[in-house]
Amino acid sequence: MTTADTLAAAAAATEAAPRERGATVWLTGLPSAGKTTLAFALAEKLRAEGHKVEVLDGDEIREFLSKGLGFTEEDRHTNVTRIGFVAEKLARNGVKVLAPVIAPYARSRAAVRARHAEQGAEFIEVHVATPVELCSERDVKGLYAKQAAGEISGLTGVDDPYEAPESPELRLQTQGRSVTESAAELHAFLSERGLA
Ligand SMILES: Nc1ncnc2c1ncn2[C@@H]1O[C@H](COP(=O)(O)OP(=O)(O)OP(=O)(O)O)[C@@H](O)[C@H]1O
Ligand SMILES: [Mg+2]
């Protein structure tokens, strides 16, 4: 075989290699619903299977990409559309993007969905549908207690809006289920769609 033949064969093999299918999996839900926990559990499973995965966690994004933004309706919308912009860029390049971000407004989620559709990237909305009563018991960051004590206001689902998705691709119940069970349910859903 000549060098040219070898290069041509290598190029053909590269072309024939199956492309990894990217997608954005957005986990929306109330504070303490289980979004971050499930995103990291799912990320671990997907990575073990050899997928390229990025987690764009709401809290981390607010320290960097969205530093300076607050919690008004407009700032929350901007935060979500920025995350959606980055997610779409990664998703169209074969990355499974997991976005555990409250995203309280339907219009923000719709904007992210529309952008993905325009760019031909897959968008999967998962509603982590833990009831507010259970979220406030879990109260991982102590926000529900602070709101109840009058120390803070504007807590999503309590004294700030949360517009639950009407027709998400998946609605996950976490009450009465372990993290492992909920993560398995989410993973099974992605498998059905040929993404895991
Ligand atoms: N089935 C379940 N799925 C997910 N989390 C669960 C489940 N059962 C119990 N939990 C617990 O609920 C808590 C969820 O906290 P987590 O930080 O994931 O919430 P979050 O939705 O990311 O909240 P925030 O919007 O404030 O970041 C964790 O302590 C987790 O262990
Ligand atoms: Mg979180």
Ligand 1 binding residues, C-beta < 6 A: 29, 31-38, 58-59, 100, 102, 138, 140-141, 174, 177-179, 182
How big, in percent rounded to 5, are the helix, strand and coil portions of the chain? 50, 15, 40
**Which residue is closest in CA terms to ligand 1's atom 26?**
31
Of the chain, the percentage scoring pLDDT greater than 70 comes to: 91
CB atoms within 10 A of CB 105: 18
CATH architecture, domain defined by 19-192: 3-Layer(aba) Sandwich (3.40)
CB atoms within 10 A of CB 96: 27
- Please give the pLDDT value at position 63: 97
Q: Extract the runs of DSSP E, i.e. beta strands, from the chain.
A: 23-28, 53-55, 96-100, 123-128, 170-172
| Rg over CA atoms, the chain | 19
Q: Which of 40, 42, 83, 140 to mutate to test the pocket of ligand 1 (most atoms within 8 A of CB)?
A: 140
Identity of the amino acid at 174: T
Q: Domain-by-domain residue ranges, the chain? A: 19-192
| Ligand 2: centre distance to CA 195 (Å) | 23
* For range 23-52, the mean pLDDT: 98
| Ligand 2: centre distance to CA 101 (Å) | 7
Give residue-wise pLDDT tens across range 82-117: 999 999 999 999 999 999 999 999 999 999 999 999
Binding site membership: which residues?
Answer: 29-36
d(CA 56, CA 192): 23
